[in-house]
Copies of this chain bind each other. A is one copy, B any other.
């Protein structure tokens, strides 16, 4: 029953990609287990059985969705880690890349956030735990470098700080929606800017919030949004 039918080289498996996109949206909205193959087929305008012409199983659909997404994301992290930027800039870039991922692949991010624990119980999805470890190493490395080079406070608990940043960034997938031209919502770069600012300098007005990053400062519009 091994799939492996993906020609890899082909940039034209469009129907397959369409179906994956439809499935990703449904998985993100309703959860993996809570989405039936009939839901997916209905949304695609075909019968549920026809899905099995393209995919081995429902599992293999999430598998492909998640692994493809993560491949791209971690390539970007690796690029940042290998760069010559200082620690603060690297941290900012990592945050920005993450918000960009939320912007461009909201369904994939949501699925990972919501289903990683459950899926991780299957052998097939062992790589999710690996990716999680890898992600932690990226952030911890950046934080430790920041502390070592003096741009971050030396009294930080690294693990706790890691979780603070990770959670803060990724949970945004729950509410972030790309702004429609008229609606004055925040772009993902706007949100990233503000988050970096709060993260680095806090929300307090107390005394010196002096040396803040040059790239972070920017005006923002005062309109409110929902949720």
Contact = CB atoms under 8 A, between A and B. Distances in A.
A54 interface: no
A91 to B, nearest CB: 9
A164 B202 CA distance: 11
A212 B205 CA distance: 10
Nearest to A155: B220
Contact of A201 (B118, B171, B206, B220): B206
Interface string A149-162: 01111111111110
A9 to B, nearest CB: 31
A203 interface: yes
Contacts of A157: 186, 194, 220, 222
A207 interface: yes
Nearest to A149: B205
Given A118-B30, A171-B171, A204 B163 contact: no
A197 to B, nearest CB: 8
Interface in A71-128: 88, 114, 118
Contact of A168 (B146, B150, B167, B175): B167
Given A34-B118, A212-B206, A167 B159 contact: no
A225 interface: yes
A33 interface: yes
B204 A204 contact: no
A48 B151 CA distance: 58
A212 B210 CA distance: 15
A209 interface: yes
14 contacts: A30-B118, A33-B34, A114-B114, A146-B203, A151-B205, A152-B204, A158-B224, A159-B227, A164-B194, A164-B198, A167-B167, A199-B202, A200-B206, A207-B208
Query: Top 4 nearest A-B pairs by Cβ distance?
Result: A208-B208, A206-B211, A202-B202, A207-B210
